[in-house]
């Protein structure tokens, strides 16, 4: 029996357009082994489109991708187009409309990839780092509430409200604990209840309540400052890290840097209920400095496709993608990893291992 899945492709700008074809090639190859066929609909939503039409996507854009099983995005952003245009013109509308309240960032240090830590602590970190950051993606510190007051006076001040809801914290905690229970049963929740005296104690309280349903998971709260230090000093001690919107944003870039290259890091914006399509994208941006040269590392996009498979209920297929990446990296490396291979060569190395 074959299952057919419809994927909305948004290549975007710069190397986004170069790394999506490798990702779909890998989906097709791994799909053949698992009775899955993929149908792709491509959308040119991008800063390039914005430059021509004044909009990142058409007015009915969200409706055009609502029925798809998932969304695969390359990267959006281009010099001269302010970040808030791609953010508010595309990424945030998609996240909000489709209730993608989980941002998922798996981080692994692969053998053969030099982490910035390996120079300081040779042999200590490679192979051992395998963690997932679960970032709350819909509320918290990133809110539009607040304002500037007394403009131009000596007493001028700015206020920014963070909003945490029982529903919002509860559902992200449930997701993170469930994930930990399917991994190594360990979880650390980022807090700062010693300095942020209303929202963070509330976060801790709701997380503690939800933890009760996952008795098998060993967990603790840790202040964000100490946690950040430990992620650098001892990254292999972590399994699942649960964090609010702001803390998760910072920690995921920190952890991706620890892993060695932004070119490998994948991410998922998930609606875990499956009501709406989830969106998968490499962590890197459009990389204008290397765009158009065929040298972008496609692994971040390929691994994102692996997360897509896992999310849609094909964990073995997702694991095959990751295993192929792991094995390919032993032999072939792109420029960002100190190697000389181009996008095509790296892609071929992954495909060869999937077809083997």
> What is the binding site for ligand ATP (CB under 6 A)?
15, 75, 77, 262-263, 284-287, 289-290, 296-297, 300, 334, 336
Tell me the closest approach of the beta carbon of residue 14 to ligand ATP, in angstroms: 7
Strand boundaries in 224-322, DSSP class E: 240-243, 266-270, 278-282
Indicate which residue of 41, 63, 111, 225 is catalytic.
Answer: 225
Closest CA to 75 of 350, 339, 304, 259: 304
Contact 262, 301 (CB under 8 A): no
In the numeric block, the tokens 């997701």 are attached to 175
Residue nearest to ligand ATP (CB): 285
Tell me the closest approach of the beta carbon of residue 342 to ligand ATP, in angstroms: 10
Indicate which residue of 234, 253, 344, 352 is catalytic.
Answer: 253
Indicate which residue of 13, 69, 239, 249 is catalytic.
Answer: 249
Contact 96, 312 (CB under 8 A): no
Residue number with CB closer to ligand ATP (99 or 261): 261
Q: How far apart are CA 162 and CA 138, in angstroms?
A: 12
Tell me the closest approach of the beta carbon of residue 168 to ligand ATP, in angstroms: 25
Residue number with CB closer to ligand ATP (14 or 31): 14
Tell me the closest approach of the beta carbon of residue 336 to ligand ATP, in angstroms: 4
142 classed as catalytic: yes
Q: How far apart are CA 23 and CA 242, in angstroms?
A: 28
50 classed as catalytic: no
Q: How far apart are CA 322 and CA 81, in angstroms?
A: 34
101 classed as catalytic: no
Phi, psi of 56 (to 5 degrees): -65, -40
Indicate which residue of 44, 124, 142, 344 is catalytic.
Answer: 142
Positions marked catalytic? 142, 192, 225, 249, 253
């Amino acid at each position: 029996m074959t299952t057919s899945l419809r994927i909305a492709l948004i290549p975007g700008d710069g190397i986004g357009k170069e790394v999506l074809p490798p990702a779909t090639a890998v989906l097709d190859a791994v799909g053949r082994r698992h009775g899955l066929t993929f149908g792709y609909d491509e959308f040119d939503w991008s800063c390039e489109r914005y430059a021509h039409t004044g909009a990142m996507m058409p007015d009915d854009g969200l409706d055009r991708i609502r029925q798809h099983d998932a969304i695969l995005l390359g990267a959006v952003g281009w010099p001269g187009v302010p970040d808030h245009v791609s953010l508010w013109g595309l990424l945030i509308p998609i996240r909000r409309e489709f209730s993608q309240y989980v941002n998922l960032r798996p981080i692994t240090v692969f053998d053969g990839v030099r982490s910035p830590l390996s120079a300081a602590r040779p042999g200590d970190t490679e192979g051992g780092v395998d963690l997932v950051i679960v970032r709350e993606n819909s509320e918290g510190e990133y809110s539009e509430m607040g304002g500037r007051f007394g403009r131009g006076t000596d007493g001028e001040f700015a206020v920014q409200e963070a909003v945490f809801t029982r529903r919002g914290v509860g559902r992200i905690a449930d997701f993170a604990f469930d994930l930990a229970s399917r991994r190594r049963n360990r979880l650390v929740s980022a807090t700062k209840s010693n300095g942020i005296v209303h929202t963070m104690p509330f976060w801790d309280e709701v997380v503690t309540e939800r933890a009760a349903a996952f008795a098998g998971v060993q967990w603790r709260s840790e202040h964000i400052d100490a946690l950040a230090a430990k992620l650098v000093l001892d990254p292999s001690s972590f399994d699942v890290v649960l964090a609010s919107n702001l803390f998760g944003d910072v920690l995921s870039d920190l952890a991706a840097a620890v892993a060695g290259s932004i070119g490998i890091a994948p991410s998922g914006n998930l609606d875990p209920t499956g009501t709406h399509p989830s969106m998968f994208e490499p962590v890197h941006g459009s990389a204008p400095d290397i765009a158009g040269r065929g040298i972008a590392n496609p692994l971040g996009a390929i691994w994102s496709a692996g997360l897509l498979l896992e999310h849609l209920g094909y964990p073995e297929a997702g694991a095959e993608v990751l295993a192929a990446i792991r094995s390919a990296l032993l032999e072939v490396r792109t420029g960002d990893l100190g190697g000389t291979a181009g996008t095509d060569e790296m892609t071929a190395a992954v495909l060869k291992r999937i077809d083997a």
